[in-house]
Amino acid sequence: MRAQLARIDAVLVQALIAAALSFAHLHDVASAAGQDGWKAWAYPVSVDLLLVAAWRRLRTGDAKAAGWCWFVIALTASLGANVATAGLLDLNQVPAWLRILVAGWPAVAFLGGTLLAHSSPAPHEDTEDVHDQEDAPDPAPELPTRPAPEPTPAPPAVAVPAALVEHARKVAAEHRNRTGAVIDTPTLRARLGVPAPMAEAIVAQL
């Protein structure tokens, strides 16, 4: 645990030293190019923020081309200021092209920061839909529907002569007077000597 904390502390100290030196070099170049007062201090902040925004875009994995483009631009500005203050450039007589670059940097930084912060990543919904459709199982084949059974036709009604019905009523009345109960179909059939369907038809008409 202590070794890890020591390693982290060393990295943080190294990062702070590098950031402070780069910050000071950018301030010196901006001040030499005619940006005095608070404006000279705003330039290093602008460069470092653009560098951080580009690095975050590279870490997210979306639109890496734009992230690398603005990362290289910000790194070039920071590295150029560090090299310029190493004695290769006379800060007392800054060339005109450097003044132009320093004066135009705010617009470049604003454009880069806006594109990095507000550009939406390319949608992947179409690709996911295609993969989902490819991975989806084939639909089960439709089973043939069985035809509905045809209704069984009702048996034709048995024609009963009116005289037979009248005779059956007399037999039924006699049976009721003798037994006190309504005559049933088998008894009526036996008394009349008719088939079962006709006996049922006669009972239905009593």
What span, in angstroms and rounded, lies between the C-alpha atoms of 82 and 77? 9
What pLDDT score does 95 carry? 87
Asked if pLDDT for residue 166 goes beyond 70, the answer is yes
Do 27 and 44 meet the contact criterion of CB atoms below 8 Å apart? yes
Asked if pLDDT for residue 5 goes beyond 60, the answer is no
pTM of the model: 0.48
| CA distances (Å), origin 196, targets 106, 154, 167, 189, 190 | 112, 16, 17, 7, 10
Give me the mean pLDDT over the 174-197 stretch.
80
Kindly report which listed range (97-106, 132-141, 142-151) carries the lowest average pLDDT score. Answer: 132-141
Give me the mean pLDDT over the 99-104 stretch.
88
What pLDDT score does 94 carry? 81
Length of the chain: 206
Q: 34-71 burial, b if ≥16 CB within 10 A, otherwise e?
A: ebeeeebebbbebbbebbebbeebbeeeebeebbebbb
Per the model's pLDDT, the better-predicted residue between 180 and 124 turns out to be 180
Do 80 and 21 meet the contact criterion of CB atoms below 8 Å apart? no
What span, in angstroms and rounded, lies between the C-alpha atoms of 84 and 24? 12
What span, in angstroms and rounded, lies between the C-alpha atoms of 30 and 43? 7
Closest Cα to residue 69, out of 83, 50, 45? 50
What pLDDT score does 67 carry? 84
Please, which pLDDT band fits residue 7 given cuts at 50, 70 and 90? low
Instruction: Using CA atoms of 111, 65, 25, 81 in order, give the dihedral in degrees to the nearest 10.
Output: -100
Give me the mean pLDDT over the 41-61 stretch.
86
